[in-house]
Amino acid sequence: MSTARPALLRRGLEDLRRRYDTRFLESDPLAFPRRFDDDADREVVGLVASGLAYGNVKSIASSLTRVVGWMGHHPASFARTLSPRAAHRSLGSFQHRWSRARDVACLVHFAGQMLDSHGSIGSFFAESYRPNDMAGSIKRFSARALALDHGGLYRSRTLPRNAGVRFFFTNPDTGACKRMNMYLRWMVRDDDGLDFGLWRSVAANDLVIPLDTHIYRIGHYLGLSGRKTAGFRTAVEITDGLRLADPEDPVKYDFALSRMGILENCPRHRDQGCDLCRLKRLVS
């Protein structure tokens, strides 16, 4: 638990939010679902964009440009009506690190089935959601998603253990679930020009910060976590530290913190005057 004084932590984080605001949107995968006005389109593109949000910024943007273009002007309709094998072929040799065309086609096919059966991906997730249990909620959602029909995209009748689409549905027992927590933040938090506020059935104060190397380092430097592994428990611990600044919406600081982490230039933190060093002095 952080020893920072809540008022000073809130002041520093709110200053950071004002600095790293919507002007930085184009450097984030969130820019892709933001291009659409329809809620279902935003859900589908958001699921894909968060799922491919690993690797460097340039490669993520390049891969998402291709996949979003492949889905066309109405991604939700595309997901509902696609022929999985034909979709796989139309993506051709697409590969984003270890995610291949088959895996992306399967992910979009899963999204289409969620829309067909529940009307929205949010309603599908709501059946897995339990308040104050985000780890369990994510596990239940992932298990139900992976039990959907893969449309013949993989050789066995049921989804193989090594199927690449599994990478999009991470388990809190084995990882930080950064990309799933990112997707949840986008869908759940109130629309502030960044996030969408589409899923009203999920409480914003249940969200967990998407933990990547930047947030892990920042959390340690600010004293929000002392854990040595970057797993789900560390993400929860950092989120709990941010609750000191805003108990009802702790992950609203994620966008600013992650942008700062990517863009700041003093990785050794010798008080060179960067945003993180200034925040550290304020809350210490």
In DSSP terms, 100 is beta-bridged to 95
CA distance linking residue 71 with residue 108, whole number of Å:
9
State yes or no: pLDDT of 268 exceeds 70: no
CA–CA–CA angle 175, 219, 99 (5° rounding) = 35
| 1 token code pair | 């638990």
Name the nearest CA neighbour of 52 among 167, 162, 194. 167
- 97 residue type, one letter: R
CA distance linking residue 236 with residue 134, whole number of Å:
10
Q: Provide the pLDDT for residue 1.
A: 43
- Report residue 36: phi and psi, to 5°: -110, 150
Tokens 């789900």 correspond to what residue? Answer: 232
Encode burial over 1-11: b for 16+ CB neighbours within 10 A, e otherwise: ebebeeeebbe
> What does the domain layout of the chain look like in residue ranges?
6-283
State yes or no: pLDDT of 120 exceeds 80: yes
User: How deeply is 66 buried, as exposed, middle or buried, from its count of CB atoms within 10 A (0-12, 13-18, 19+)?
Assistant: middle
C-alpha 281, offset from chain centre = 29
Q: Give the strand pairing for 95-96 and 99-100.
A: antiparallel
**pLDDT, mean of residues 199-221:** 95
Q: Report the run of H or E that residue 96 belongs to, with start and end.
A: strand 95-96
pTM of the model: 0.94
Kindly report the number of other CB atoms within 10 A of residue 229's CB atom: 9
CA distance linking residue 129 with residue 127, whole number of Å:
6
Which runs of consecutive H residues, i.e. helices, occur in 148-226? 178-188, 213-221
State yes or no: pLDDT of 260 exceeds 80: yes
Share of the chain above pLDDT 90, in %: 79
State yes or no: pLDDT of 267 exceeds 60: no
| 51 token code pair | 């799922």
pLDDT digits (tens, 9 = 90+) for 19-77: 999 999 998 999 999 999 999 999 999 999 999 999 888 999 999 999 999 999 999 99
pLDDT digits (tens, 9 = 90+) for 82-109: 999 999 899 999 999 999 999 999 999 9
CA distance linking residue 144 with residue 127, whole number of Å:
10
Task: Name the pLDDT band for 132 (thresholds 50, 70, 90).
Answer: very high
State yes or no: pLDDT of 185 exceeds 70: yes
| 21 token code pair | 């605001």
Tokens 């491919």 correspond to what residue? Answer: 52
Q: Provide the pLDDT for residue 157.
A: 84
Task: Name the pLDDT band for 265 (thresholds 50, 70, 90).
Answer: low
CA–CA–CA angle 64, 67, 70 (5° rounding) = 145
State yes or no: pLDDT of 259 exceeds 50: yes
